Structure formats: C-alpha cells, structure tokens
Amino acid sequence: MHWADVIAEDIAKNCEEPLIATGISPTGIIHVGSLREAITGESVRSAVKGLGKNVRLIYLIDSYDPLRKRYDFLPKEFEQYVGMPISNIPCPCGKHKNYAHHYVQPFLDAVDSLGVQCEIIWTHELYEQGLFAETIDMAMNKREQVIKILSEVTGKEENPNYAPYTPICSACGRFTQPIFETYEFPYIEYECTCGNRGKDDIREGKGKLTWRCEWPAKWKIFGTSAEPFGKDHAAAGGSYDTGVRIVKEIYDGVPPYPIPYEFVQLKGVGQMHKSLGSPVTGLDAINMTPPEVLNYLFLRVNPSRAIDYDSGMGVLDMADEYDRMERLFFEGEYTEAEEDSVRAYEIAQHNRTPEKLPNQISCRHLVNVAQMAPTFEGVLEILKRNGNISDMTPAETKRLARRVECVRYWLNGFAPDIVKFSVCNTVPPGIELSMAEKAFLQALSVRLYDCIWDAETIGATIADTAKESPVGLKGGYSTLYRILIGKKSGPRLGNFLADMDKSFVVNRVVQASN
Ligand SMILES: [Zn+2]
Ligand SMILES: [Zn+2]
C-alpha cells in the first residue's frame, strides 16, 4: 500500500472532516525541501478525499516571523529591519506588498502550478483578526507551566525569562520582551531595549507567540488533524514534542497526526546554476522539472526517506520514470514492486487522472527538439512532421508546452555540456574531411535520399553504410556530427536526423561530400 494511503486511512478513521496543515516561513530564498512539504500535504489530502471524506488543506505562511538577520542576498539598508516582522518590512524589489510577499509569491505560483489545492492563510492576518488572543492569554496565564514543560521535554534548564508572547515595540517596530507581572487580559506591557515603554491589546495583532507556543496554538485554532513537517522539528525534545504537551496541557487541544519528512539533498555536479553559480533553489526545481514529474518525485518514496534531487541528467531520468509509470497505469499490468510507484503516479494527479494515456513526448527527446527550434511553434512543427504528435487535446498541448519550457530552463542553467548542441546552418567552416569520409558521405546521401524518414530506418541506413566503408561505425558517426553540429559526438543519430527535415539533411551530406 502506498504511504499516502496508509496515512489517509489513519486520519480518516478518527476524523469526520479532516484538516491538513502545511506551511512555510518566507524569510528568504526557498529551498527544494519546502516543495516536499506542500506536495506531501497535497498527496495526503487527495488520498483522504479518495476515501470520500470532506477534507481541507491549508497553507500557512509565517508572514509574522521576525527577520532574524540581514542575509547575504539582502541590501545593506536591510540591517535596520532585523527583528521586525517580515510582513512589516518593505519588499527588496519594490514591486510587492512587503518582504513576505516578495519571497513567497513565486513559491505560491509554483504551488499553484503543481496543482496543490490549498487555502492560503497569512499568519499576520490571523493575529490582526485576534484569532490568537485566547491562546496568548492561556500561555501568559500558565507561563510557569509552559517553562516547566519546555524544560522537561528538552532536558534543558528552566528559563525563568521565557516569553510565550512578544509584543511589537511601537517606537522601533521590533519584537520585544513583555513585562510578565503586570499582564492582565487583554493588556500587556513592555519595556523595549530602545528605551520605549508601551501597553498593547493582545487582540490587535501587535505581537506574536514565540515558535514553541505558536505552533500548538495553530493546531488549537484550526483543529489540525495532520501536518507534515521537517524532521528537525520531529527530533526528540523538538518542537513537535513540546507542542504536543503545550496543546494538551495549556490550550486544552489535540495534537495533529505527525508526518515528519526527511530533507531533500542536492546531488552531483549539476547542483549549481552554471552561469549564476548559485545552488539549486526550490524555484529552479520548479522551473526545470515538469510539475507532474516533480509531484511524482516526492511521492515515489516514503517521507521518512531522503530524496536526492539531481539537477543534471537526473531530471531526464526522473521524467522517463514518470512516463513509464503513466504507461503502466493505463496498461493496468505491473509487478508488485511497481505497484507503489504506479499509485504514486495516480496520486500525483490530485484526483484528476486523465481518462486515457496522454500523448507522451519524453523530456529526453525534447532536449534535442528544443535545441533545433527556438519557438514552441517550431517544436510542434518538428513533432508533427516526424509523426510524434497528431491530434492533441488542450491538456496535452499545455503539458507539452510546459515540458519544453522546463527543458529550456534546464539547458540554460543546469544541463551537462555533452547534451548541448546547435545545428549549423551550413557545413561548419574549417572542417577537413578525408577522401574516405567524403566517399562515405556520398554513398550515404544516395541511400538517405531513398530511405523512409523514421528514426529506426535512418539509424540502420547510417550504420550499414558506415560498416561497409573504411571509416567504420565510429568514424561514420563522428563525420556526421562534425558536418551537422561541429562536434565529434551528439544525440543518437537516428532520432536526431528524424527530427530534421529530410531534404535539409540530404543536402548537407551532399555538400560536405564534394
Ligand atoms: Zn519584491
Ligand atoms: Zn523599541
């Protein structure tokens, strides 16, 4: 049974209308691992939905978190905002509502393109609406008890200065320590390090619960039934463990079913953007991996297992595996070992599985086609000419267009040089061919002219002609690469030439043989 189905059954057993929560802290550039959280949440949602339950998935943006430091990617003047909530800090580019929006918007677009069906909730708005007031009051009133729980669970000494809630200073805009002794609902007083003293109403969103008290407060507010979270929070004595006790003993609530997930590791030499020199971000992963494939990547293994994201050839391997599982799903025949992967394919469709096998154009093939045609129309023309596509549904065209975009992004930033080429408009200058090579091309031009223009026949024609010639198989192949792309090697010739116009190829071979 697929892991998402196991979790879904557990959740559905105890809950009539389950709510699954996921979230993100948009304080900076978003890592590939954040995608795992969103997709894990969505997969459980769709599996629960498949059991006939009325289920919701919420996506909580921690827009009220403080900016912890000025990160290297931020301009110098951002030093002044350290310690302020990111929803109150201006956006670095000037085009977004605030800092939180700036960093989370591309990610929200991505989550949308991945088909994740969630409700977006901004934490700073929950505070402004006073939704945290009850839990803030409880945590402040039972502060001694909170301190005891934290110490017992983490094994650290009790911290008498621990603040479950930090008000925002009205003078400097930073989170600051409250005065515990004078707290009386709904007013909290503080004395900031900037010298300002103030008094605020906890119902007005002028402060926030600190992390270990805020997370369980969200469980209480939403009645969260299940939540995926990074394994760092799941460690013994970590914030899930303290959250469980705080939600029960302080807030009189129930903890969610935990779905801890392992990190996503970036693998191999392909993990840096070639021209920018920056590591692969979550957005890079979205831009170069077709959404259906990215969904599948996170679903094929249990959340407790680490995932290697290989931005080199791994992107193509993964897309090929996805296509294979798609074929198996529609054929309906597969081994027991493939069962979970086929189910992962199905869950990756978010309850919207196509009715029949979609037209599959592999990313591997598109790597070649995209390098021959600079526009999507050009790509379509090639694929139509060689019979790869005929009648396409709008959904199939959309999927193909997205795949082409992903392949182009990958070629520009991450693809190994070995797969890159550009077809020269004429025989590349400076190429010297031997008499034997010219004779080979001459013989080949005649045979190609008569040959049926499909990959298999072309491949066989080239191989036969080369074997009969003194240049041999290897020499024949490299001669063709040299006159077409000016390199000694390239994509598999049968497929490669089949994607090109027949007369273009024949003319080139004739030209070079003279
Ligand atoms: Zn911006
Ligand atoms: Zn202050």
pLDDT value, residue 278: 65
Let me know: does 42 contact 117? Beta carbons within 8 Å.
yes
For residue 77, what are the contacts with CB-CB under 8 A and spacing of at least 6? none
CA 440/CA 277 separation, integer angstroms: 44
Q: Pick the closest to residue 234 from 225, 243, 226 (CA basis).
A: 243
Let me know: does 148 contact 242? Beta carbons within 8 Å.
no
For ligand 2, a single-atom ion, the residues with CB < 5 A are 169, 171-172, 192, 194, 196
Distance 173 CA to ligand 2 centre (A): 6
Distance 88 CA to ligand 1 centre (A): 13
Let me know: does 166 contact 189? Beta carbons within 8 Å.
no
Peptide bond into 291 cis (omega under 30): no
Distance 82 CA to ligand 2 centre (A): 12
**Phi–psi pair at 477, nearest 5 degrees:** -60, -50
Q: Is it true that 3-127+211-264 and 435-513 share their CATH fold?
A: no
- Whole-Å CA distances, 509 to 117, 437, 472: 53, 11, 17
For ligand 1, a single-atom ion, the residues with CB < 5 A are 91, 93, 95-96, 102
Distance 190 CA to ligand 2 centre (A): 9
Q: Pick the closest to residue 136 from 198, 221, 59 (CA basis).
A: 221
Strands 165-167, 207-209: parallel, antiparallel or unpaired by DSSP?
antiparallel
The burial of 343, by beta-carbon neighbours within 10 Å (0-12 exposed, 13-18 middle, 19 or more buried), is given as buried
Domain residue ranges of the chain, discontinuous segments joined by +: 3-127+211-264, 133-209, 266-418, 435-513
Which ligand minimizes its atom distance to the CA of 94? Answer: 1
DSSP strands (E only) in 187-281: 187-191, 197-201, 207-209, 226-230, 257-261, 264-267
pLDDT in tens, the chain (514 residues): 999 999 999 999 989 999 999 998 887 777 777 889 999 999 999 999 999 999 999 999 999 999 999 998 899 999 999 999 999 999 999 999 999 999 898 888 888 888 898 999 999 999 999 999 999 999 999 999 999 999 999 999 999 999 999 999 999 999 999 999 999 999 999 999 999 999 999 999 999 999 999 999 999 999 999 999 999 999 999 999 999 999 999 999 999 999 999 988 877 545 566 666 667 888 889 999 999 999 999 999 999 999 988 999 999 999 999 999 999 999 999 999 999 999 999 999 988 899 999 999 999 999 999 999 999 999 999 999 888 898 899 999 999 999 999 999 999 989 999 999 999 999 999 899 999 999 999 999 999 999 999 999 999 999 999 999 999 999 999 999 999 999 999 999 999 999 999 999 999 999 999 8
CA 13/CA 16 separation, integer angstroms: 8
CATH (residue range 435-513): 1.10.10.350
CA 323/CA 329 separation, integer angstroms: 10
CA 432/CA 482 separation, integer angstroms: 10
Alpha-carbon Rg for the chain, nearest whole angstrom, is 29
Distance 91 CA to ligand 2 centre (A): 22
Q: Classify 3-127+211-264 by CATH class.
A: alpha beta
pTM assigned to the model: 0.88
CATH (residue range 266-418): 1.10.10.770
* Residue indicated by tokens 């077809």: 423
Q: What is the DSSP string of 147-203?
A: HHHHHHHH-PPP-TT--SEEEBPTTT--B--EEEEEEETTEEEEE-TTS-EEEEEGG
